Chains A and B, each alone.
Chain A
Amino acid sequence: MTEDTKKSAFQFHGNWVDFAKIALVNLLLTIITLGFYRFWATTREREYLWSQTQFIDERFEWVGTGKELFIGFIIIAFLFLIPFSLLYFFATIINPLAAGIVYIIGLLFVFYFVGLAKYRMLRYRLSRTYWHGIRGGSDDKGFRFGLTYMIKTTLGFLPLGLANPWATCELWNERWEKLSFGPNDFQSHASYNSVFGTYLLSYIFFPFTWVYQARLRRTLIDGLRLEKLEFAFTASTFDWIGLIIVDVLIVLGTLGIGLIFIPYRHWQFYINHLEAYGEVNLDALTQSQTAKEKHGEGLLDAFDVGAI
């Protein structure tokens, strides 16, 4: 199947009224359940956004469940947050030094978990995303990536933060190269070379941070490949500024209620600026053989960044 060059391979068909019906009910249910509904709320929003996003000839399908996210949250809570809170509470009773030690150990854990979660989030989302009945995933659980993340992020900050773009690109590439869709592994070749100059300028003149951030996202996505598909991201600095200004206006103008539209707006923004070139051979696109627990309730497999 070859790609029509005039039209983007990605199309978004959603409209905000339909999304509002979902998001407003979600908001109410989340409030009256003291926040517990949010896992199911996230799932409903994703079901909608995925189902309104077309790639070439077919829409995506989100099959993740609220229960999975909830279980992921419970695991994190019982494995980490509650033991750590108790430990910290009793440490503060014993003495300030013990509390300090517990606190630092806790921070190191969080650091590790953030790296792990950045990878797990991608893996979870790919494994719950279907297109033409085919999904993505990975057999790599990401425990080593958590360590790499700690090391490279630290290295990136050490020389006055100068190696930050290097660390970001390296970690992005490492994450994606562990992932696959159907039988094909992703390849990722984002290089910090193309963003380093802008990054240096941002030290001198602050607004260049925005230019850097926009260029970084283009660089990261432009470096992605999946078999014969190449991806590209077209959002310029001004596109981003426009997005954020309108976000702020909507949120202020609605006294905060508009916050519930932000996921919609950002998803739409990403899809509208996402491009793919190349071809997909449907006969050769076979089912992913990566590990997947029967009902997707595998322990840590389920925790999403929202849970941290």
Chain B
Amino acid sequence: MANDIVDPFFSVSHFDGKTAVRRKVEIQTIGQNFFLLENERRHGPYTFDYMHFVSKTKDNISYGYEDIDGWRLTLSGPIPEGLKPLLPATRTYGSWIDKLGLGKASVAFIAVSAAVLVVGMTAPQWLAPIIPQSVENSLGDTLVGDFGGRFCNTPDGKAALAKLTNSLDGNPDDLQVEVVNIDMLNAVALPGGKIFLFEGLIQQAESVDEVAGVLGHEIGHVRERHVMQGLLRQLGLSLVLGGLNENVGGVLNSALSNSYGRDAEREADSHSIRVMSEANISPIGTKGFFEKLADMTNEDNDISEMTSYMSSHPLSTERAAAFQKSFDANKDYKPALSSAEWGAIKSMCKNDPDVKSGFGFDLFDE
């Protein structure tokens, strides 16, 4: 049964794993078992099934043996035909790829990666509606509270604001619209149907129609559930990118998650245009607002809240054009509120003795 190896170019060396001495040996195979013959010594018996591939170079292939640390059998030169089928498989790219072949494996990887990307990128859109409104509401309450006492409140002002909200939304009970005593030209929608119009926006608005357009836009964010999507996106990005590389993660995270993204802003704009049209409010004021934004960013960028508002919203001129286009000359537009009501909103922060000032507030400064 013994198999004599005769090829002069074929040689076998062996380390037993116990000491570093190299042993020149011959392989004596007996069925699935083998011995290693070294001069007068015989090592073994060993079983081919317990051998595993370790490494290969141009000239050598090395095998290890289960449970014997450092045991090596290194074959040099052409392997005898009788030995080949007994040896374990080699490894090149990794066992999965080797089994499939590089080409097929690559196709499979591309397919899986594409699927992962699609699912991952759209996840916030289909996850957001699954999250119960009650969860979003309590999240909103924890996040915002009373905003450090910065909500402006006078009976007339609140009544006017409620009237404006009612005219833009058929079911306004789950919305909480506030004027916040912070001098920023901005407005935000937060979890739980909270919409904040900042005092700076109110004061710089040339007409109540302008405020109506912005409010309609923020209501659009709430109704389309962009807020929860944005939160989920931010959470997901901080997990995925944070897991790969802190620095790159940080930069990308803020770049990608800033506000809700342009598509969501367009959706919110069309929502605003639709509800304004239903309420018979002219879109021209809002158009003016965006032109103002465009002018200011064209001139100089010293005003930081301006640029932060701009960075995630579609180009202001483009948005102004969308509002302009929705203007219908035959329509009998009415002002969104009477001038007394508009005055009540404008003076709400000034006339509220309890409201705290906006200085030192840094929740949105990060």
Q: Which residues of A contact B (CB under 8 A)?
A: 25, 28-29, 32-35, 37, 40, 43-44, 47, 51-52, 58-59, 61-63, 66, 77, 81-82, 84-86, 88-89, 92-94, 96, 130-135, 182, 280, 282-288, 292
Contact = CB atoms under 8 A, between A and B. Distances in A.
28 contacts: A25-B93, A28-B106, A32-B106, A32-B113, A33-B109, A33-B113, A43-B94, A59-B57, A61-B62, A77-B243, A82-B239, A85-B239, A89-B235, A89-B238, A92-B366, A94-B142, A94-B143, A130-B70, A133-B16, A134-B15, A134-B19, A135-B70, A280-B20, A282-B19, A282-B20, A282-B21, A282-B22, A285-B19
A62 B18 contact: no
Interface size class of B (residues with CB under 8 A): 35 or more
A230 to B, nearest CB: 19
B143 A93 contact: yes
Contact of B71 (A133, A280, A282): A133
B17 interface: yes
Interface string B87-114: 0000011100100001000100110110
Given A51-B55, A81-B243, A96-B362, A287 B109 contact: no
A288 B18 CA distance: 9
Interface in B218-268: 234-235, 238-239, 242-244
B63 to A, nearest CB: 11
B239 A285 contact: no
Q: Which of A34, A63, A84 has the most CB of B within 10 A?
A: A34
A18 to B, nearest CB: 9
B55 A182 contact: no
Given A25-B93, A283-B19, A135 B55 contact: no
A132 B20 contact: yes
B238 A85 contact: yes
A294 to B, nearest CB: 8
A85 B250 CA distance: 11
Contacts of B106: 28-29, 32
B117 interface: yes
Given A29-B93, A37-B109, A85-B243, 4 more contacts: A62-B55, A63-B55, A93-B139, A94-B143
A132 B22 contact: yes
Contacts of A135: 69-70
A287 B18 contact: yes
A287 B70 CA distance: 7
Given A51-B57, A283-B19, A285-B19, A96 B69 contact: no
A132 B112 CA distance: 42
Contacts of A85: 238-239, 242-243
A33 B102 CA distance: 13
Given A34-B116, A133-B15, A285-B19, A61 B55 contact: yes
Contacts of B97: 29
Given A32-B106, A82-B239, A133 B94 contact: no
B259 to A, nearest CB: 16
B287 interface: no
A25 B21 contact: no
B217 interface: no
Contacts of A182: 20
Nearest to B235: A89
A77 B72 CA distance: 35
Nearest to B111: A32
A96 B19 CA distance: 60
Interface in B262-321: none
Interface string B37-81: 000000000000000001101000010100001111000000000
Nearest to B238: A85
B15 A132 contact: yes
A159 B94 CA distance: 50
A57 to B, nearest CB: 8
Contacts of A86: 235, 239
Given A25-B93, A133-B15, A282-B21, A34 B239 contact: no
7 nearest A-B residue pairs (beta carbon)? A133-B15, A132-B20, A285-B20, A133-B70, A282-B20, A40-B94, A85-B242
Nearest to A38: B244
B103 to A, nearest CB: 12
A292 B69 contact: yes
B363 interface: yes
A135 B15 CA distance: 12
A182 B17 CA distance: 10
Interface string B1-42: 000000000000001111111100000000000000000000
Nearest to B112: A33
B54 A25 contact: no
Given A29-B109, A32-B106, A81-B242, A93 B142 contact: yes
A25 B94 contact: no
A134 B20 contact: yes
Contacts of B235: 86, 89
